[in-house]
Amino acid sequence: MALTFSTSEESTDLVLTMAGQLDALSAPDILTTIDGLIEKKHMMIVVDMADVDLIDSSGVAVLVALYKRSRSIGGKMKVRGAKDQPLAIFKLMNMKKVFQIA
Amino acid sequence: MAKYPPITLRVPASLLYRDVAVRSITAVCHLIGGKATDRSSDSLDLQRTFDGEFVSAFSEIFNNIAIHAYGGSDEGEISLTMTPSSDQLLVEITDTGSTFDIDSVPPPPVDDLPEGGMGIHIARACLDELKYEPGPPNVWRLTKSFPKNEEQEE
């Protein structure tokens, strides 16, 4: 399943909502949008992964890139709604030490 | 003790077909130990973790074959043989692409967050055993045992 994504605002947070598979196939597309998201200078970026059913190492790399760029402007990032395989990967890689997983 | 015959599947070596294989792997994961009939929350958590980790490992190896062994050409084929038993799943993945030097994979970075190159490390971490035999054909063997819950351990 391809990845679809959209952005919205909740209070002062920027919410990036994804659905489908965040993987080697979809990572290049979303990577090109990250810089545009950072330019909006929100101090909190929320990645909603409730409808993401698979993430691979390329997908994790996208989140790491987003986290690093957000941090570079003094911002934060958190992931919410992850379950099943994506949550198993985050636990395995201990990603909660990097960004908040709600 | 449940015993199942090996299940085989062949798919084109393209990331577009990975989901077909992932869905098969997930269904086979549910055969392990008959856990699908035990709906307690602990067993469901164990099942989700087992499924998630096996699918994660498999996805990384599939990516590796499609992108590196076949160079992203979308040509060639990937063959799977899934052998479930009562408490373990073995999946053999065969390809006829370029061989891979698994010993050349650098260790994961300790201090910096990586933005790539973690596929093999994720696969290893998700499995009990990951073996690779260069070919032709190249053969990957992925093995993982289903964890026992506390009641089974008593």
Residue A3 pairs with which residues in a beta bridge?
none
CB within 8 Å of chain B, chain A residues 32-91: 54, 56-58, 60-61, 64-65, 67-68, 84-89, 91
- Per-residue model confidence as pLDDT tens digits over A33-85: 888 888 888 899 999 999 999 999 999 999 999 999 999 989 999 999 999 89
Judge contact between B70 and B78, C-beta under 8 A.
no
- Report CB contact under 8 Å: A64, B119: no
Per-residue pLDDT for B57 more than 90? yes
Q: What is the ipTM of this complex?
A: 0.78
With CA atoms as reference, report the closest residue to B69 among B89, B103, B91, B93: B93
- Report CB contact under 8 Å: B63, A58: yes
Amino acid at A35: D
For the A4-101 domain, the top CATH level (class) is alpha beta
Q: Number of C-alpha atoms within 13 angstroms, CB side, residue B17? A: 17
Q: Where are the domains of chain A?
A: 4-101
Query: What is the distance of C-alpha A6 from the center of its chain?
Result: 11
- Per-residue model confidence as pLDDT tens digits over B87-100: 899 999 999 999 98
Distance CA B43, CA B47 (A): 6
- Per-residue model confidence as pLDDT tens digits over B22-50: 999 999 998 885 554 556 677 777 888 89
Chain A, nearest residue to B64 by Cα: A24
pLDDT given for residue B75 in this prediction: 83
Nearest C-alpha of chain B: how many angstroms from A86? 7
CATH (residue range B7-105+114-153): 3.30.565.10
- Per-residue HEC secondary structure of A27-69 comes to HHHHHHHHHHHHHCCCCEEEEEEEEEEEECHHHHHHHHHHHHH
In this structure, the dihedral spanned by the alpha carbons of residues B114, A87, B12 and B62, taken in order and rounded to 10 degrees, is 40
pLDDT given for residue B100 in this prediction: 86
Q: How confident is the model at residue A98 (pLDDT cuts 50, 70, 90)?
A: confident
- Report CB contact under 8 Å: A57, B125: no
**Average pLDDT value for chain B:** 86
The runs of H, that is alpha helices, within chain B are: 18-29, 41-64, 119-126, 150-153
Nearest C-alpha of chain B: how many angstroms from A40? 22
Q: For residue B135, with 0-12 CB atoms within 10 Å meaning exposed, 13-18 middle and 19 or more buried, which class applies?
A: middle
Pairs from B32-41 (Cβ < 8 Å, separation ≥ 24): B32/B84, B32/B85, B32/B86, B32/B87, B32/B88, B32/B89, B32/B146, B33/B2, B33/B86, B33/B87, B33/B146, B34/B2, B34/B86, B35/B146
pLDDT given for residue B32 in this prediction: 82
Residue of A23, A25, A53, A57 to mutate, interface with B, max B Cβ within 10 Å:
A57
Per-residue pLDDT for B11 more than 80? yes
